[in-house]
Amino acid sequence: MPRPLGELEDAVMTRVWQWNRPVTVREVLEDLQQERSIAYTTVMTVLDNLHQKGWVRREVEGRAYRYTAVSTRAAYSAALMNDAWAQSDNPAAALVAFFGMMSPEQRESLNDAIRIVQRDNPLPPPPEEGGGEPTAS
């Protein structure tokens, strides 16, 4: 399970995920500078840390690296939710509480996701009652 991203790591990864292409430190820096004062070396360190943690891969281009996300934000979010659920001493109660916090739009998204999973991975039919082999009379 991945550790949750820190605030600055999340800001950097948000750009990498949104742009969905290899990015440079300079590109991320210029976008972040529209919101906050931040140094080139800070962004470079964050991207290096994200590379060390396995969140991005990098390839050399000239004298710089280009960084690409290893997985999607959806996969990251799913891993965080799965970890939180797995840590509960009562997973069913945790799900009930979580579903109770959802907006109608989120519930509709949940219903859509369940339909997709059920379509792609149907459950096997339940065993017939009686449980044993038929007997000859």
Residue 44 has pLDDT above 90, yes or no: yes
Q: Do residues 16 and 67 touch, judged by C-beta distance below 8 A? A: yes
Question: Considering the entire predicted model, what is its pTM?
Answer: 0.71
Three-state SS for 73-111 is: HHHHHHHHHHHHHHCCCCHHHHHHHHHHHCCHHHHHHHH
pLDDT value for 119:
86
Residue 132 has pLDDT above 70, yes or no: no
Residue 95 has pLDDT above 90, yes or no: no
pLDDT value for 25:
97
Residue 106 has pLDDT above 80, yes or no: yes
Residue 135 has pLDDT above 80, yes or no: no
Per the model's pLDDT, the better-predicted residue between 53 and 42 turns out to be 42
Band (pLDDT 50/70/90 cuts) for residue 17 is very high
Cα–Cα dist 121/111, whole Å: 15
Cα–Cα dist 137/135, whole Å: 6
Residue 69 makes CB contacts below 8 A (sequence gap 6+) with 13, 16, 17, 20, 55, 56
Q: Residue 56's closest CA among 32, 81, 26, 24? A: 24
